[in-house]
Amino acid sequence: MPICTTTSNFFTVPPVFHAMENFFELFPRYGRKSSTLWKTFDPQQPTSPQRAQSFTEINAFFSLCPSVLSVVKHDFDSPLNPDPTNPMNRITATFAALATANRKALVTYITAGDPDPETSFHILRKACDAGIDILELGIPFSDPTADGPVIQEASQRALKAGMTLTKTLELAARLRKEVDTPIMIFGYYNPLFKYGLERLAQAAAAAGIDGLLVVDLPPEEAGPLKAALAGTDIQLVFLVAPTTRPDRVKMIAQETGGFLYLITRAGTTGEGGLDLEAIRQHAAEVKKISPLPVCLGFGIRNGDDAHKLAPMADGIIVGSALVGIIGSDPTASDLPERLAEKIRDLRAGLDRA
């Protein structure tokens, strides 16, 4: 028997009430678009619980209250596929779908235009078919201060091949015509600022970009970019380092969109050097604070690493291990398949968790 069958006893079950409020926090479009569903939830309740620490409560809510789930399904084709005239951001929808399936996100970074624009497109297209959940499309930059040698060299190859921010957006737009995978732009602030923030927001939205991560832009300095992105559905994602103070983690977690990028170790991007126990402790602390999913990045090499890290967070982010395959033989004709094979290994590791 479902615990929740009517609106009158809905609010008498605290875990269900918490989950419902968390649901509207994480997916506000349902509250705006579904008047029937909104009527089952009173936003003026005097006691407002903290925002969701994970999607677990929401999943539990739907299992306890199938009648409310049926309303969501009635108003939208499914709770993860809203009204196509005002669709949910693909990043948000992806994490919700993964949580429902009890799976972890595989987020991959690949430098746009590496080793050349045309080969890069085929690499990206194959990667989307191989099992990635979110694509971070790196903007080549001459001074990538957060990146190690592997991604530095990738940027140089792409720049020499004529890749620019404009061409990166064109590449994303071409890819969007063929895949529904969430696409994020990953880069540094200087090229974005020079390009023009308003222009960037318009071009990124037109290209079907879902998220933006600017490595060297802290939340305190992100006001102009946030203002430019207002009115688009592009989420601005922030990073947290192992050295970030707890009070600052809380602030960043409240500011980030889509998910929180949790760096696994101090230093630049690259493979190896994972202290699993330290990561476990830090990830657990951050997950208690973050209202959105938490993904681990830096130093993840293979499926075994993915398997070990999967229980600690909502997903992993892999870059250098993939970009390094291109760097090892940039002229190889089978680069798309080589990267796809690595992605399948990472996906298998996550799914073994």
pLDDT tens digits, one per residue of 29-57: 444 333 333 333 333 433 333 333 334 44
CATH number of the domain enclosing 106: 3.20.20.70
Within the chain, what is the greatest distance between any pair of CA atoms? 66
In terms of domains, do 245 and 140 share one?
yes
Counts for the chain of helices (H) and strands (E), in that order? 18, 9
In terms of domains, do 260 and 296 share one?
yes
In terms of domains, do 43 and 122 share one?
no
Is residue 315 within 8 Å of 98, Cβ to Cβ? Answer: yes
Domain end marker among 48, 75, 102: 75
Reading the block at residue 23, the tokens are 């649901």
Residue 232 burial class via C-beta count within 10 angstroms: exposed 0-12, middle 13-18, buried 19 and up: middle
- Report the amino acid identity of residue 287: K
In terms of domains, do 122 and 33 share one?
no
- Tell whether 156 is covered by a domain: yes
φ/ψ of residue 32, rounded to 5:
-75, -40
Distance CA(104)–CA(206), nearest Å, equals 29
User: What pLDDT score was predicted for residue 60?
Assistant: 53
User: What pLDDT score was predicted for residue 144?
Assistant: 78
- The predicted-structure confidence for 206-246, as pLDDT tens digits, reads as follows 999 999 999 999 999 999 999 999 999 999 999 999 899 99
- Tell whether 81 is covered by a domain: no
In terms of domains, do 30 and 118 share one?
no
H-type alpha helices, 181-319: 189-195, 197-207, 223-229, 246-255, 276-289, 303-309
- Tell whether 80 is covered by a domain: no
Distance CA(166)–CA(141), nearest Å, equals 13
By annotation, the residues acting in catalysis are 136, 147
Partners of 108 in the β-ladder: 135, 318
Dihedral sign computed on CA atoms, order 5, 55, 237, 218? positive
- Tell whether 197 is covered by a domain: yes
User: What pLDDT score was predicted for residue 146?
Assistant: 73
Whether the pLDDT of residue 24 is over 70: the answer is no
User: What pLDDT score was predicted for residue 269?
Assistant: 61
Distance CA(5)–CA(105), nearest Å, equals 33
- Tell whether 1 is covered by a domain: no
Q: What is the mean pLDDT of residues 267-277?
A: 70
Is residue 149 within 8 Å of 132, Cβ to Cβ? Answer: no
User: What pLDDT score was predicted for residue 123?
Assistant: 98
- Tell whether 337 is covered by a domain: yes
Indicate yes or no: pTM above 0.85: no
Distance CA(91)–CA(177), nearest Å, equals 17
Full domain range(s) for residue 269 = 90-351
Is residue 350 within 8 Å of 304, Cβ to Cβ? Answer: no
Which residues 6+ apart lie within 8 Å of 20 measured at CB? Answer: 10, 40, 41, 61, 65, 68
Distance CA(166)–CA(203), nearest Å, equals 9
Q: What is the mean pLDDT of residues 180-207?
A: 96
Is residue 109 within 8 Å of 315, Cβ to Cβ? Answer: no
DSSP three-state, residue 314: coil
